């Protein structure tokens, strides 16, 4: 079996496990679903499940890790003439808009059954933050260690995105994820104007 075929099969198995898990979590709640039930729903053995999944929590939080990587990639490919805050906000907005609404609704239902997990995680990993800061510094022609501005821009916009994300998860949310995130990002981009007002 070639490496690429083996890799595609692994990806398919992981996808099957993930989709089965999210469907079960959304239907019955994260804490009531067992790993054996996830494996059975995915059509794999328990040993296959454990070869692909370290912990049940990883299945629920996987989309967050994928998003961080996608934002980093998008930011690195934004046009060079864009201001760093605008480019990063666009990368974040694009990522939040590309998620399928049905998948997103099912994941939101699933994550709301285990809110304590959200309190323990960062939406963007330390590694992704560092990469975003390095990209910002490079675009600005600055040293990310000697100059705090690239890091501050990245952290401010990520904080805004997280605020929008958590607002979308809230009980009173009536806007889609991308609208909540974009609204928060635009508010941060408009802060310079707001701060200059008496």
- Whole-Å CA distances, 34 to 14, 39, 75, 127, 144: 17, 9, 38, 31, 45
Of the CA atoms within 13 Å of residue 183, those in its CB half-sphere come to: 12
- pLDDT of the residue at 172: 77
We report the CATH number of the domain holding residue 16 as: 1.10.10
The answer to whether residues 94 and 154 belong to one domain is yes
The structure tokens listed for 84 are 């760093």
- pLDDT of the residue at 133: 98
- Whole-Å CA distances, 120 to 8, 83, 171: 32, 33, 19
| Each residue's pLDDT expressed in tens, for the chain with a length of 198 residues | 566 888 888 889 999 999 999 999 999 999 999 999 999 999 999 999 999 999 999 999 888 877 888 999 999 999 999 999 999 999 999 999 988 788 888 999 999 999 898 877 777 889 999 999 999 999 999 999 999 999 999 999 999 999 999 999 888 778 899 999 999 999 999 987 666 565
- pLDDT of the residue at 158: 96
The answer to whether residues 48 and 68 belong to one domain is no
- pLDDT of the residue at 122: 74
Residue where one domain finishes, among candidates 53, 72, 95: 53
- pLDDT of the residue at 73: 95
The structure tokens listed for 79 are 């046009």
We report the CATH number of the domain holding residue 179 as: 1.10.357.10
The structure tokens listed for 91 are 């990368």
The answer to whether residues 20 and 73 belong to one domain is no
The answer to whether residues 26 and 122 belong to one domain is no
- pLDDT of the residue at 24: 97
The answer to whether residues 78 and 154 belong to one domain is yes
The answer to whether residues 27 and 120 belong to one domain is no
The answer to whether residues 112 and 21 belong to one domain is no
Residue where one domain finishes, among candidates 53, 70, 93: 53
- pLDDT of the residue at 186: 95
- pLDDT of the residue at 195: 65
Q: Estimate to the nearest angstrom the gap between the alpha carbon of 85 and the chain centroid.
A: 19
The DSSP line for 82-93 is S-HHHHHHHHHH
Instruction: Give the domain range for residue 21.
Output: 1-53
The answer to whether residues 10 and 79 belong to one domain is no
Q: Which residue shows structure tokens 């990002």?
A: 185
The structure tokens listed for 85 are 């805050």
Instruction: Read off the pTM.
Output: 0.84
C-alpha to C-alpha distance for 58 and 78, rounded to whole angstroms: 30
Q: Which bin fits 83, alpha (ψ -120 to 50), beta or left (φ > 0)?
A: beta
Tally of domains in the chain: 2
């Amino acid at each position: 079996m070639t490496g690429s075929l083996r890799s595609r099969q692994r990806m398919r198995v992981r996808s099957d496990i993930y989709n089965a898990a999210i469907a079960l979590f959304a239907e019955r709640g994260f804490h009531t679903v067992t790993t054996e039930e996830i494996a059975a729903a995915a059509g794999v053995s328990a040993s296959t499940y454990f070869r692909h999944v370290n912990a049940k929590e990883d299945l629920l939080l996987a989309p967050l890790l994928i998003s961080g990587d996608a934002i980093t990639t998008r930011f690195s490919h934004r046009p060079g003439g864009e201001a760093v805050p605008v480019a990063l906000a666009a990368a974040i907005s694009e990522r939040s808009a590309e998620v399928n609404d049905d998948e997103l609704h099912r994941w939101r239902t699933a994550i709301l059954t285990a809110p304590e997990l959200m309190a323990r995680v960062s939406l963007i990993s330390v590694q992704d933050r560092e990469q975003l800061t390095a990209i910002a510094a490079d675009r600005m022609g600055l040293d990310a260690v000697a100059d705090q501005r690239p890091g501050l821009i990245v952290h401010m916009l990520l904080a805004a995105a997280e605020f929008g994300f958590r607002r979308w998860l809230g009980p009173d949310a009536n806007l889609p994820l991308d609208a909540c995130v974009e609204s928060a990002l635009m508010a941060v981009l408009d802060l310079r104007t707001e701060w200059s007002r008496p």
